[in-house]
Amino acid sequence: MSKNALVSFTGNKHISTEITLTGSKSECNRALIISSLSKGLVKVDNVSDAADTVTLNNILNNISHDSPHQQTVDVGPAGTAMRFLTAYLSALPGKFFLTGTERMKQRPIGILAEALKAIGADLSYAQQEGYPPLLINGPLQQSTDTVKIKGDVSSQYLSALLMIAPMLQQGLTLQIEGELTSIPYVKMTLDMLEEAGISHSWNDNSITIKPQSFKPAVLAVEPDWSAASYWYSIAALAAEAQIDLPYLKSKSLQGDSRIREIMVAFGVGTSKTDKGIAITKTGQNFSDDILDLKDCPDLAQTIIVCAAALKKNLTFTGLETLKIKETDRILALQNELSKIGVMLTEDNLIYTLNCDKLNFPDRVSFKTYEDHRMAMAFAPLSLLINEVILEDMDVVEKSYPDFWKDLQKAGFTVKEI
């Protein structure tokens, strides 16, 4: 039976603390794939302890590269691992059955799988067309050096292909169709490949990586800006806040570092320190502009819940990919925000908060839908609600295992119930 967290905050709501965040899951998962492709030439420093990264690291360390038998590779709920391994295993010699949780089997993989098949991968769907689990018989026999792929579904499809490109006989050119979602994550992949000695060219909608060898390098993983976003929300909802976040860089590879700019309107300022950054409570400065989150969709839940709590009827775009994440995050937000009287409505891909009936009950229970970001986005509401219950508290281990411990360090009370 899953454990729930009862979160509360008593006292003057003045938060002063230092929080050392785990390594970025996004950076680390890419670094581990690159390291494995380089056959150890590329080392990884500050490996994340996020459950998804632990899963990927264990898989990469335990795959046999010379087994004549089919190997089962189970990623559990790790979506990034599923996408990256689909490409990675296609490039390896061997037979693989790539699977995951029941929810993973509902998350589409067809765009990536069909792109791999188009360049010569021997890959098929074991159950439902376009979805995991997959049967992979590698290595792929490359038939073309160019493939077309949609850019508006998941940037992880592109990153998965880009990381195996240098080891393909003909290299690879990705021709991106439509608008590219989450550009910073594609740039992150290319920057990390470059650190490992792999060059690329990017002209208009085409990215080309020629066949080339990795060079010795150390990829140092920065702390996770996605995890930092919850502390920005806490600062916005607190009466006063001074929160130090060591080792975060003012210039980051991570697209979610955009939280610094977004949260200025919410009354949270960011300053550089000798150790990293500090965030402090300032004055709110909201505008009527539509907030486009297509480059940082993992921030959406944090920002939307925080705006709702501040009774701001904000409008958002760029949320299309939220429906194929750990859960349908749009539906999950609509369900849970309704418990505090807030509506999130959709009109032709434009999403608007209506907070006119916002109310804070004395006690409220929020479902998490097996989604780590739901738990962490709603937990800061305990600054405004006497008792907040988050169902399935262990779900945070997916990306931020120390979340509850760090909340307690900041003065929150967290009880298992």
> Could you report the per-residue pLDDT of 111-160, keeping only the tens digit for each?
999 999 999 999 999 999 999 999 999 999 999 999 999 998 889 999 99
pTM of the entire structure?
0.86
- The answer for residues whose C-beta is within 8 angstroms of residue 173's C-beta and 6 or more apart is 145, 146, 147, 206, 207, 208
| Domain boundaries defined on the chain | 5-23+223-416, 25-220
Tell me the pLDDT tens digit for each residue of 2-16: 799 999 999 899 999
Instruction: Supply the pLDDT for residue 260.
Output: 97
Q: What is the mean pLDDT of residues 276-287?
A: 94
- The CATH architecture one would assign to domain 5-23+223-416 is Alpha-beta prism (3.65)
β-bridge mates for residue 336, sequence order = none
Q: Which helix (H) or strand (E) holds 72?
A: strand 71-74
Instruction: Supply the pLDDT for residue 1.
Output: 61
Does residue 301 have a pLDDT over 80?
Answer: yes
For the domain 25-220, what is the CATH code?
A: 3.65.10.10
Q: What are phi and psi of 143, to 5 degrees?
A: -110, -15
> Among the listed ranges 34-43, 173-182, 267-276, 333-342, which one has the minimum average pLDDT value?
173-182
Tell me the pLDDT tens digit for each residue of 366-401: 999 999 999 999 999 999 999 999 999 999 999 999
Report the C-alpha gap between 339 and 78 in whole angstroms.
29
Residue type at 110 in one-letter notation: G
**Cβ(181)–Cβ(153) under 8 Å?**
yes
Tell me the pLDDT tens digit for each residue of 229-262: 999 999 999 999 999 999 998 889 898 999 999 9
Residues annotated as part of the active site: 298
Tell whether omega for the bond before 133 is within 30 degrees of 0, i.e. cis.
Answer: yes
Domains 5-23+223-416 and 25-220 belong to one CATH topology:
yes
Q: Which residue has the tokens 């038998």?
A: 69
Report the C-alpha gap between 154 and 325 in whole angstroms.
10
**Cβ(271)–Cβ(293) under 8 Å?**
no
> Quick one: angle between helices 300-309 and 329-337, nearest 10?
20
Tell me the pLDDT tens digit for each residue of 22-51: 999 999 999 999 999 999 999 999 999 999
Q: What is the residue-wise DSSP string for 362-406? A: SEEEE--TT-HHHHHHHGGGGGTSSEEEESSGGGGGGT-TTHHHH
Q: What is the mean pLDDT of residues 300-329?
A: 91
